[in-house]
């Protein structure tokens, strides 16, 4: 006969890693006082942001492909239907601002932490990824392929219309139920055929596979031949594999200079997926070929009150952008003119792609030693002070106490601060994340 604690232990041991994390969070809630809870969550959040920022900054100035063609292959095998994942809303702010036990229970009960089928989780994250990808790489084309029952099909061919792609994906995931086994070979063939036929020579050709089925694929022929032909076509393949590492996928990523990641849990999957939105270094062949000039047009905007026939939807729509060469109208930028094949962009699009070539330098952690009082009383350092009120513990006088970005007091502890190596200004982790992830300029350096 087993006691209640034995049953509890047995249950915990059988859980997946991502389930354990949330039971762990609940444990913190039970074991600690409210103050400690908010502090622990604050530190965890800081650590996550800092890891993310560090990963995002590549110190080397490499040649990168800014005109990107990407095919996403989604495994729609049985495993996507059977496996369950947790979708958690970002409750960090709530944990910090008010973190009483009652509030925590309310968050848990309100359904903000819920278990869903893996296909639902992937569908949701994919929508976020595509929005982020188009935002980071305005000069890109994305297509999506699904694979189930040993076959592969296009959900949408490579295109530059984010709205259209999002709509197609929503329709697909609402109507299709994952079943059977996926086929790595068939889906790779389909993506490679489309990329080599449609993508221009100078474009960076990429495939990203989201694979959930553990150690199984249903292929009609020799997959190693397909891999070799993908390598010859200079296509970079990366894989996010839920079901543990597979030899064929590892081999595929290593010969094509891609990445193979196995996410630990849902937030990790989100971070890993988003990391693929940053341009990768060009393939060896693209490093060698001499750069060629690409013609681009900067269309003029037509007033929204004027309605006319557009070339993209073939409908009468308000406003739009006029191609400077053939005067046909398009609803969205960037797009490619269907009449004269001119690439139509706006200057902010080019500027946004350009920043990937010159990333902001990584901010340095100052690692100031803790003052003796702080070592005993961390709690006092996260107290929000009224304006003008003096903090109980004062840092050395030569260290700024406010973040240069948001002008907020640098919270938690005096040693949790980051400094720009060029302008020597101090920043909080949130501002550092914003500077490296969205702004792409250091406000201190820009000020001169
Ligand atoms: Zn249109
Ligand atoms: Zn045109
Ligand atoms: Zn700040
Ligand atoms: Zn700076």
For residues 386 and 422, the model is more confident at 422
CA of 307 to the centre of ligand 2 (A): 19
Higher pLDDT, 34 or 278: 278
pLDDT for the residue 284: 60
Most confident of 36-40, 52-56, 121-125: 121-125
The reported pLDDT for the residue numbered 378 is 43
Q: How far is the CA of 243 from the centre of ligand 1 (A)?
A: 41
pLDDT tens digits along 205-235: 999 999 998 888 888 889 999 999 999 988 9
DSSP letter string, 21-86: HHHHHHHHHHHS-HHHHHHHHHHHHHHHHHHHHHHH---S---B--SEEEEEEEE-SHHHHH-EEE
Q: Which ligand is nearest to the CA of 330?
A: 1
Residue 317: pLDDT over 70: yes
- Residue 105's pLDDT is what? 44
Distance 59 CA to ligand 3 centre (A): 23
Helix (H, G, I), strand (E, B) or coil at 224: helix
pLDDT at 374 exceeding the cut of 70:
no
The mean pLDDT of 119-143, rounded to a whole number, is 88
How far, in Å, from the CA of 419 to the mean position of ligand 3?
A: 11
pLDDT above 80 for 285: no
378: DSSP letter: S
Q: How far is the CA of 409 from the centre of ligand 3 (A)?
A: 8
Which ligand is closest in space to the CA of residue 431? 3
Listed in sequence order, the residues at least 6 apart from 289 whose beta carbon sits closer than 8 Å to its beta carbon are 201, 202
Distance set, CA 297 to CA 202, 300, 345, 430 (Å): 18, 10, 6, 37
Q: Find, among 334, 347, 298, the residue nearest to 141 by Cα.
A: 334
Give, as one character, the DSSP assignment of residue 435: I
Ligand number nearest to the C-alpha of 429: 3
Identify which has the larger pLDDT, 274 or 433. Answer: 274
Q: What domains, with CATH codes, occur in the chain?
A: 63-288 (3.40.50.410), 299-344 (no CATH), 364-447 (3.30.40.10)
74 CB-near residues (< 8 Å, 6+ apart) = 122, 126, 144, 145, 146, 147, 155, 210
The pLDDT, as a whole number, for residue 138 is 79
Beta carbons within 10 angstroms of residue 377's beta carbon: 10
Task: Assess whether pLDDT exceeds 90 at residue 412.
Answer: no
What is the rounded CA–CA span in Å between residue 328 and residue 324? 8
317 CA to middle of ligand 1, Å?
7
Distance between CA 148 and CA 130 in Å, rounded? 22
Write down the residue that tokens 């308000």 correspond to: 318
Strand partners, 148: 151
Report how far residue 268's alpha carbon sits from residue 274's, in angstroms, rounded to the nearest whole number: 10
Among 170, 74, 80, residue whose Cα is nearest residue 116: 80
Distances (CA, A) of 171 to 164, 177, 417: 11, 12, 46
What pLDDT does 372 receive? 47
């Amino acid at each position: 006969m087993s006691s209640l604690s034995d049953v509890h232990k047995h249950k915990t041991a059988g859980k997946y890693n991502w389930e354990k994390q949330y039971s762990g969070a609940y444990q913190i809630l039970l074991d600690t006082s409210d103050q400690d809870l908010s502090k622990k969550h604050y530190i965890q959040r800081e650590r996550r942001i800092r890891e993310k920022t560090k990963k995002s900054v590549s110190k080397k100035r490499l040649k990168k492909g800014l005109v990107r063609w990407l095919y996403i292959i989604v495994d729609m095998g049985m495993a996507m239907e059977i496996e369950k994942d947790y979708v958690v809303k970002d409750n960090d702010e709530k944990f910090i601002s008010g973190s009483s036990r009652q509030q925590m229970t309310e968050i848990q009960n309100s359904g903000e932490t819920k278990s869903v089928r893996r296909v639902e989780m992937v569908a949701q994250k994919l929508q976020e990824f595509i929005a982020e990808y188009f935002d980071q790489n305005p000069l890109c084309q994305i297509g999506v392929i699904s694979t189930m029952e040993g076959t592969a099909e296009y959900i949408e061919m490579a295109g530059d219309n984010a709205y259209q792609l999002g709509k197609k994906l929503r329709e697909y995931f609402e109507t299709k139920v994952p079943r059977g086994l996926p086929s790595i070979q068939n889906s790779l063939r389909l993506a490679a055929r489309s990329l080599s036929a449609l993508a221009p020579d100078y474009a960076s050709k990429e495939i990203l596979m989201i694979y959930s089925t553990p150690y199984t694929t249903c292929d009609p022929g020799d997959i190693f031949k397909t891999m070799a032909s993908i390598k010859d076509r200079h296509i970079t393949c990366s894989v996010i594999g839920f079901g543990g590492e597979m030899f064929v996928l590892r081999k595929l990523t290593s010969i094509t200079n891609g990445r193979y990641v196995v996410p630990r849990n849902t937030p990790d999957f989100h971070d890993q997926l988003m990391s693929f939105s940053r341009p990768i270094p060009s393939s060896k062949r693209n490093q060698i070929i001499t750069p060629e000039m690409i013609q681009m047009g900067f269309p003029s905007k037509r007033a929204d009150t004027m309605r006319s026939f557009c070339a993209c939807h073939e409908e009468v729509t308000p406003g739009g952008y006029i191609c400077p060469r053939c005067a046909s109208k398009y609803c969205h930028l960037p797009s490619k003119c269907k009449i004269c094949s001119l690439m139509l962009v706006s200057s902010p699009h080019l500027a946004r792609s350009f920043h990937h070539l010159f990333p902001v330098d990584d901010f340095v952690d100052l690692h100031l030693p803790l003052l003796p009082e702080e070592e005993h009383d961390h709690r006092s350092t996260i107290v929000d002070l009224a304006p003008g009120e003096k903090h109980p513990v004062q840092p050395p006088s030569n260290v700024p106490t406010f973040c240069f970005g948001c002008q907020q007091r640098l919270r938690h502890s005096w040693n949790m601060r980051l400094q720009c190596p060029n302008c020597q200004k101090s920043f909080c982790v949130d501002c550092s994340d914003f500077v490296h992830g969205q702004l792409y300029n250091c406000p201190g350096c820009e000020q001169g």
